[in-house]
Amino acid sequence: MWGEKFRMAKKWVLCFMVVLMAASLLAACTSNNTGSNGNKGNKGANTEQSPSPAATVKAEIAPEAPMLAELVKAGTLKPVEERMPVKEDIMIEPVFEEIGQYGGEWNFPWNGPDDKWGISMATEEAMFRFKEDGTSVEPNVAKGYDVNADATEYKIYLRQGMKWSDGVPFTADDVIFYWEHMLIPETFGKALYDCYYSVDPVTGEKARAEIVKVDDYTVKVTFKHPSVLFLERLAIDNKWFFAPAHYYKTILPEFIGEEAALAKAKEYGFEDLKNFGIWTGYYYWLYPQRPTLRAWVAKNDMNSDRFIMERNPYYFKTDSEGQQLPYMDRIVLTKMQDKSHKLLETMAGHVEVGSFDFTDYTVLKENEAKGNYRVIPWSTPNWSSTGVQLNQTTEDPKLRALFQDIRFREALSLAADRKEISEIITNGLGEASQASIQKGLPNYQEGWSNQWAAYDTDGAAKLLDEIGLKWDAAHKYRTFADGSDLTLTIYREDPSDNEKFIELIRKYYEGVGLKTDVKIVDQGSFFDLKYANKIPVTVKTVSVLNVAFRPDELVPLRVITPWFGHYGLYTSSQGKEGVKPEGDVAKILEDWDKLKASKTKEEVQKWTDDIIKLHQKNQWVIGYTAPTPGLVVARNDVRNVPSLIASDETRYIGHAHPAQFFIKK
């Protein structure tokens, strides 16, 4: 019974990918130049997304949620017309199914502050966001933009009268402040994002953009060299290209002095300014004190058993009937200790909308009617559904040399029975396959999915012999050539990594003589260990919608993906820290710089293909089964929940624009 349902789900995903292929890189690379095709100099020529039929009605002054109307009546909140942008600058958010109703709560499972990214993506408001098909971007916080003919100058237009959640006006000063006092000095611990650099097509020299205020609602970004993908890269690298200047001037040492700033840090629970800057600057959505542009605002301590985010009275969007969004009054984040707890709560109907991976498909479908919810498959641009990454810069020099040997990666690939993994882990939906780009996505390479995909333990053993790995006295485990212990330590990020898959991998690896250990760490510790270059092996795949848009998992620009470890730190620190890339990894960075210097869509295509072919050649990311859909579970009374692309680029559930979710009464 379930085999047929899995096959139907697979058919759905393939159909989606065919549609996605039709909106290819060509469209993506030309979309950001529309301002120069007859619109150059026309202020705000590229404004708003093309509205759906549900969003063609011009917004009137927005009515508001009852809870806000009561505050207005009591005199503790300004009237709605004074809280929103001027009428013509209000953003009309298309609804997926129907105009919604106010009220209710979204019960959102989480594991506490270390589990910060799920709620961030669900509530994020980017300067520019990805369109529904994921191929290009549209204005969001921004009202519009203009770009000149050679993509060296962008004017970004903001919404007049827009306000932060505390009622203070949001203007170009907040963009310039963020650029000058947070991005450039690395206030929140991040090096300046790659999207702000252009590359000389001849010398390869990188030049930082200049960003200036034109007027209260316009900023200009100027590049020395063409940057044809700036808006797409901005939508990925630095979505929140702004910060409330009035707030940070009360906490940053630059403005109040180190002593006063340290006192502020202690009020927030920090003993040092570094972590204070990181958490309030980078993970700002967790702090009630910090004003935001998001639909919901933190109201209490993030460490509480129930962390609450409540509707923003100054939110800048309405539906097509002029009702101020969001529809739901608040999001209640309830601590759940593990994945099984979240699953049980969802099946009991206690979670309005939740996300799951495909390993939970069977149990969720079996309880769909009983739990009064629906399971909605979302396609993914993953390279595989089960995979392994070896850190190419791992600290142990002998392990590093081994991991960098392509024969060792091939041996690990041949050692596993992909058909068994497919049946046990994906119930047959994720077919035996190497980690590779799916057909229908940009840069697909014919035949890649079959590379090193046979189950061949003899072939694996031959490769390990060629490398020079010996056997211990009991002929049970392999050792290094000098006889020293060889152990592969897989770090598992509990609860997100699949325990059953890891046990299978351990069985296969030990079957060819490779002793394998497993360490389980929480999300926060995994993140810290990754940045410290202390994760040698992990069970991760990569998910890339388009390498031209988001290179981070494939190009070592910063510390983010385990396979390239501290190559990324070397790049982000401009050679001051980390491990210098060599060989094909260095070639990837060269190709990326050439891609960034591209002047045409054909050039972009060439260099993205070259980057992908280097990944195909080296197989730094090993996969065992083809991708499976992501799952969104929505209670049946929750409406306006679509089926889209589940990717980091599009921000997973945030891509559905949750401000338009509502509970139907």
Q: Where are the domains of the chain?
A: 84-124+294-380+629-665, 386-625
* Mean pLDDT, residues 188-209: 90
Q: Which residues contact 50 (CB under 8 A, 6 or more apart)?
A: none
What the block records as the tokens of 595 is: 């891609």
Place of tokens 């790995």: 469
Predicted confidence at residue 420, as pLDDT, reads 97
Give the pLDDT of residue 17: 41
CB atoms within 10 A of CB 399: 20
Average pLDDT over every residue of 112-124: 95
Distance CA 480, CA 398 (A): 8
Question: Which of 47 and 617 is assigned the larger pLDDT?
Answer: 617
Query: Does residue 502 sit in helix, strand or coil?
Result: helix
Per-residue pLDDT tens digits for 169-178: 999 999 999 9
Q: How far is Cα 538 from Cα 525, in angstroms, rounded to an integer? A: 14
pLDDT score of 618: 98
> Between residues 436 and 439, which one has the greater pLDDT?
436
Is residue 354 predicted with pLDDT exceeding 90? Answer: yes
pLDDT at 538 over 50: yes
Judged against a pLDDT cut of 90, whether residue 152 lies above it is answered with yes
DSSP 593-612: HHHHT--SHHHHHHHHHHHH
Helix, strand, coil tally for the chain in percent (to 5): 35, 20, 45
Q: Provide the pLDDT for residue 553.
A: 93
Residue that the structure tokens 């929505």 belong to: 634
pLDDT at 166: 98
The pLDDT assigned to 9 comes to 44
Predicted confidence at residue 550, as pLDDT, reads 85
Tell me the per-residue pLDDT of 257-277, one tens digit each, with 9 for 90 and over.
999 999 999 999 999 999 999
pLDDT digits (tens, 9 = 90+) for 492-523: 886 555 788 999 999 999 999 999 999 999 88
- The rounded percent of the chain whose pLDDT value lies above 70 is 90
**Mean pLDDT, to the nearest integer, of 539-564?**
91
Tell me which residue of 518, 513, 523, 514 sits closest to 502, measured CA to CA.
518
Q: With bands split at pLDDT 50, 70 and 90, how would you rate the model's confidence at 47? A: low
- Give the fold, CATH level 3, of 386-625: Dipeptide-binding Protein; domain 3 (3.10.105)
pLDDT in tens, 292-329: 999 999 999 999 999 999 999 999 999 999 999 999 99
Q: What residue type is assigned to position 190 of the chain?
A: K
Residue holding tokens 């301590």?
301
Q: Which of 162, 182, 183 is nearest to 172 (CA)?
A: 162
Distance between CA atoms of residues 499 and 412, nearest Å: 18
Per-residue model confidence (pLDDT) at position 36? 35
Contact 301, 307 (CB under 8 A): yes
Q: How far apart are CA 169 and CA 545, in angstroms?
A: 35
Report the pLDDT averaged over residues 629-634.
Answer: 95
Bigger pLDDT: 91 vs 379: 91
Backbone angles phi, psi at 146, to 5 degrees: -130, 145
pLDDT mean over 204-226: 96
Q: What does the pLDDT read at residue 337?
A: 74
Confidence at residue 52, expressed as pLDDT on a 0 to 100 scale:
37
- What 3-state class would DSSP assign to 408? helix
Q: Which amino acid is at 584?
A: D
Q: Mean pLDDT over all residues of the chain? A: 90
pLDDT for res 429: 85
pLDDT at position 442? 86
583, 65 contact by CB (below 8 A): no
206 three-state secondary structure: strand
Mean pLDDT, rounded, for 526-552: 91
- Residue 3: the pLDDT is 41
Name the residue among 624, 656, 619 with its Cα closest to residue 640. 656
Give the total residue count for the chain: 665
H or E segment and range at residue 507:
helix 499-511
Segment 34-48 shows an average pLDDT of 43
Of the spans 1-10, 20-29, 198-207, which averages the highest pLDDT? 198-207
Q: In this predicted model, what pLDDT tens digit does every residue of 461-476 receive, in sequence order?
A: 999 999 999 999 999 9
- Please give the average per-residue pLDDT across 513-539, as a whole number: 92
Interval 580-615: pLDDT, tens: 999 999 999 999 999 988 888 788 889 999 999 999
pTM: 0.79
Distance (Å, whole) CA 384 – CA 627? 4
**Confidence (pLDDT) at 499:** 84
Give the pLDDT confidence score for residue 20 in this predicted structure: 39
Task: Tell me the H-state helices in 244-376.
Answer: 245-248, 253-256, 258-267, 273-282, 339-347, 361-366, 368-371
Hey, what's the torsion of the CAs at 170, 173, 174, 178, to 10 degrees? Answer: 170
Least confident of 28-42, 100-114, 176-190, 352-366: 28-42
Q: How far is CA 662 from CA 88, 220, 329, 333, in A?
A: 25, 37, 10, 17
What's the CATH fold of domain 84-124+294-380+629-665? D-Maltodextrin-Binding Protein; domain 2 (3.40.190)
